[in-house]
Amino acid sequence: MIASLTLALTLLGATVEERPNVLFIAVDDLNHWVGYLGRNRQTITPNIDKLAGRGVRFTRSYCAAPVCNPSRAALMSGLRPSTTGVYENNNDWRTAIPPEKTLTTAFREAGYVVRGAGKIYHEAYRRPSEWDDYLQNEGADPKPRGDNTGVGGIQFAPLDCRDEETRDYRIVQYGIDQLAKEQPKPFFLAIGLHKPHMPWNVPRKYYDMHPLDAIKLPPYKEDDLADVPPAGVRMAGPQGDHRDILQSGRWKDAIQGYLAAISYCDANIGRLIEALDKSAHRDNTIIVFWGDHGWHLGEKHHWRKFALWEEATRAPLIWVAPGVTRAGGSCERTVDFMTIFPTLMDLCGIAKPAHLEGESIRDLLERPDADWKTPALTTYRFQNHAVRTEDWRYIRYANGDEELYDEKADPFEWTNLAGDPKHQATKKELRKALPAQDHEDIGPAEGRAAAKKQAKKQAAANKKKGDREP
């Protein structure tokens, strides 16, 4: 089976019957707090860690946007936010991305059956016509008892219920049921888990896995924003969620809730992978596992995503491709999730659509230490970008403000080097990875007006700073 699959994967002209299946696993708001990445030793993710050991795990993998809707629209279309103008959760991506440009359409046109459940695109904007079948009624989670359900907008509380009563359990069950069936055609099966998206309301047993008295806070500096420019401070919003958390004295409680939601997610991933392993499809199914973006829990005085730092932009990426990856592979190269669409085309022997803005990382799946020079690029709102290489993070805001971090010496990004004259050449090189175009926000109307105003401000600021640029 492995030999025939390997042969099939080398041929763009492979027949439908020779092509591998795809199990496409998306997780909402899962940052790099998974065991195999080592960023937070408190996390408990044995099933995700086991999956990471089966193929190639990427240690530096980044989202296209630190927001659910634009991140998913970019990954599923192969078009960056700066190309489509889809920057926010209130942008209807369907107005900017026609169905013929999506990942699901590419698979359907190649003869695949395309099925899904849960959160793949942003929930507010579904396009059922892209799918052969989609779970219609995933239901809702139970509500926690009492009124002690979090701090302001940061919502967390244990549930007194069984796993079977929760939404993600039912979503994964759809995947399990599909994997148990005989499949006359190759399938693309997308399973999107909601947790650890807020509210972090999961069965109590997952809270019990993370006792409150053992919780440790993430690395934190009281004066962390002192060298962050105004545009970055505005994104951090230290007078919002972080102020509320500090005043409540419940920072550790919130950490416990997030860790519990991750452990609940991990249990469901374990159910899904176990079902694949018991099925007839184990040896000819590619697995790609990804989180849509990262999440801050107080680092840099910030909570949630909605920023361009490491915590908000880094998320897990795991590939298991029979006949291509080898167990235990770890890739240190810096990639972003615009690579997922073209890599799936490459692995499945499907011609790459001309519009894709990312490149296949098949070489890294075969040889995790292979050369790879393309930086990761993340965009948050109009004309705000972060460029990430193995050594550096460079942030350029719409108004011209900048941040630069030496990731080897400063992995928590505590020292902004953007104003240091000896790093001007580094900034100049990293700027080459910024997008060539910045499409206006596609809406709503007030969003477009704000984008135009922001563009004028940037033009004025750039003109003023022009002589000082290296």
What positions carry a catalytic annotation?
68, 122
DSSP single-letter state for residue 240: I
| Block residue for tokens 């219609």 | 136
Rounded distance between C-alpha atoms, residue 90 and residue 125, angstroms? 9
Kindly write down the DSSP assignment for every residue of 439-459, as one continuous string: PPP--SHHHHHHHHHHHHHHH
The answer, yes or no, to whether the previous bond of 184 is cis (omega within 30 of 0) is no
Q: Say if strands 285-291 and 21-27 run parallel, antiparallel, or are unpaired.
A: parallel
Q: In this structure, how many other beta carbons lie within 10 angstroms of the beta carbon of residue 345?
A: 22
Helix (H) or strand (E) holding 246: helix 243-248
Nearest 5°: CA angle at 410, between 405 and 415? 55
| Block residue for tokens 């919502």 | 155
Residue 333 phi, psi dihedral angles, 5° rounding: -70, 155
Contact between 302 and 295 under an 8 Å Cβ cutoff? The reply is no
Rounded distance between C-alpha atoms, residue 289 and residue 57, angstroms? 10
Residue 360 phi, psi dihedral angles, 5° rounding: -65, 140
And the tokens for 267?
Answer: 């249990």
Rounded distance between C-alpha atoms, residue 62 and residue 26, angstroms? 14
| Block residue for tokens 């990639």 | 335
Mark residue 335 as left, alpha or beta (left: phi above 0; alpha: psi -120 to 50; beta: remaining). beta
Question: What SS3 state is found at 287?
Answer: strand
